[in-house]
Amino acid sequence: MAERGIPFRLWLAGGWLMLLCAAALLAPLIAPHDPLAQDLFLERLPPVWLPGSEPGYYLGTDSLGRDVLSRLVYGTQIALVVAILAGGAACLIGSALGLIAGYFGGWPDRIIGRIVDIWMSFPPVLFAILLVAVLGTGLHSVIIAIAVIDWTRFCRVVRAETMTQARMDYVDSALVIGRSRGGILLKEVLPNVLPTIGVLLSLEMGIAVIVEAILSFVNLSISSDDPTWGGMIAEGRTQIHFAWWVLVFPMIVLFFTVLSFSQFGEGLKDRFDPVLK
């Protein structure tokens, strides 16, 4: 059977995420203005294609005269840092515990299962707000809060997938030839669970972006002056009738980013999942 090509949605989602990465890395070069610079004489300028705009302010300005496009570009840095660090930490913790619980079973499975049940009994967003309030505002607190809350998502799914793989014939064959259980877990089971972990990680990165935006919206992330998509949405909500672009553009970028993380994960699963292949 001929190998399938890369799904089109994987190209689209990957292209958008690569664009965000380029914007984050090259922000000082491509941002037309300082994202923190204020000029009240330039407040609420409309986007460049509308009457009353000013050259160089392509997406307009907010109520303090700050350039919306520059703040979007620099906000990408914060969003991707949270997505990568928080999503990666949750993935490592949850996947490791899920592999142990699903493969070895017995008392490790019972203990980890009880911890997951207790952890998931708390509403995640409220739990995140509580943790940030305890740890103090700041990017590190947001990352820790997301990782502490969302590792359970990985643990439950990876445990179920590991239990399925552990019953496969290749595991029995490896045991017959004398392979250690730890070696089988790392070299035989883990590679077959990786597509599922990849999908979960991609979804979690999108969730991390949303959670950071929510915390920024309620002013529990970094400083309210720093450019974050959630902070821009919070500000734009108060002036939607006077400067709609302050609200609409960060919402569009946030929507496409979360959608791209989701579709990228699903596309990776379609492309590389050994069962589907």
Q: With 80 as the cut, is the pLDDT of residue 258 above it?
A: yes
Q: With 50 as the cut, is the pLDDT of residue 2 above it?
A: no
Residue range 25-54, pLDDT digits in tens: 999 999 999 898 888 888 888 999 888 888
C-alpha dist (Å) from residue 239 to 64, 233, 236, 242 = 12, 10, 5, 5
Residue range 145-155, pLDDT digits in tens: 888 888 998 99
What is the residue-wise DSSP string for 75-92?
HHHHHHHHHHHHHHHHHH
Residue range 101-125, pLDDT digits in tens: 888 888 888 999 899 888 888 787 7
Q: Does 69 reside within a domain?
A: yes
pLDDT of residue 67: 92
Name the CA dihedral angle for 159, 161, 164, 166, rounded to a multiple of 10 degrees. -60
Q: How confident is the model at residue 275 (pLDDT cuts 50, 70, 90)?
A: low
Query: Of 201, 204, 179, 177, nearest to 103 (Cα)?
Result: 179
Residue range 156-192, pLDDT digits in tens: 999 988 888 888 777 778 777 877 777 878 888 888 8
pLDDT of residue 273: 58
Q: Does 73 reside within a domain?
A: yes
C-alpha dist (Å) from residue 69 to 47, 59, 181, 220 = 10, 6, 54, 23
For residue 215, give the amino acid letter.
Answer: L
Q: Does 3 reside within a domain?
A: no
Count of structural domains within the chain: 1
Q: With 50 as the cut, is the pLDDT of residue 1 above it?
A: no
Instruction: Name every residue whose Cβ is closer than 8 Å to that of residue 79 and which is 6 or more positions away in sequence.
Output: 20, 209, 212, 213, 228, 229, 257
Q: Are 143 and 86 in contact (CB under 8 A)?
A: yes
Question: What's the average model confidence in pLDDT over 211-227?
Answer: 80
Q: Does 219 reside within a domain?
A: yes
Range of the domain at 219: 8-26+43-272
Q: Does 156 reside within a domain?
A: yes
Residue pointed to by tokens 């947001």: 142
Q: Does 34 reside within a domain?
A: no
Q: How confident is the model at residue 93 (pLDDT cuts 50, 70, 90)?
A: very high
Residue pointed to by tokens 């949405």: 233
Question: With pLDDT > 70 as the criterion, what percentage of the chain qualifies?
Answer: 94
Q: Are 231 and 139 in contact (CB under 8 A)?
A: no
pLDDT of residue 52: 84
Q: How far apart are CA 207 and CA 157, in angstroms?
A: 16
Q: Are 69 and 130 in contact (CB under 8 A)?
A: no
Q: How far apart are CA 204 and CA 94, in angstroms?
A: 12
Q: How confident is the model at residue 224 (pLDDT cuts 50, 70, 90)?
A: low
Provide the 8-state DSSP code for 185. I
Q: What is the mean pLDDT of the chain?
A: 85
Provide the 8-state DSSP code for 65. -
Q: Are 201 and 87 in contact (CB under 8 A)?
A: yes
Q: What is the pTM of this model?
A: 0.85
Q: Does 16 reside within a domain?
A: yes
Tell me how crowded residue 95 is: count the other CB atoms within 10 A of its CB.
Answer: 24
C-alpha dist (Å) from residue 116 to 26, 61, 120, 130, 157 = 40, 45, 6, 19, 11
Where residue 45 falls (left for φ over 0; alpha for ψ -120 to 50; beta otherwise) is: beta
Q: Does 35 reside within a domain?
A: no
Report the CATH number at residue 229: 1.10.3720.10
What is the residue-wise DSSP string for 133-156?
HHH-SSHHHHHHHHHHHHHHHHHH
Question: What's the average model confidence in pLDDT over 52-77?
Answer: 90
Question: What's the average model confidence in pLDDT over 15-26?
Answer: 93
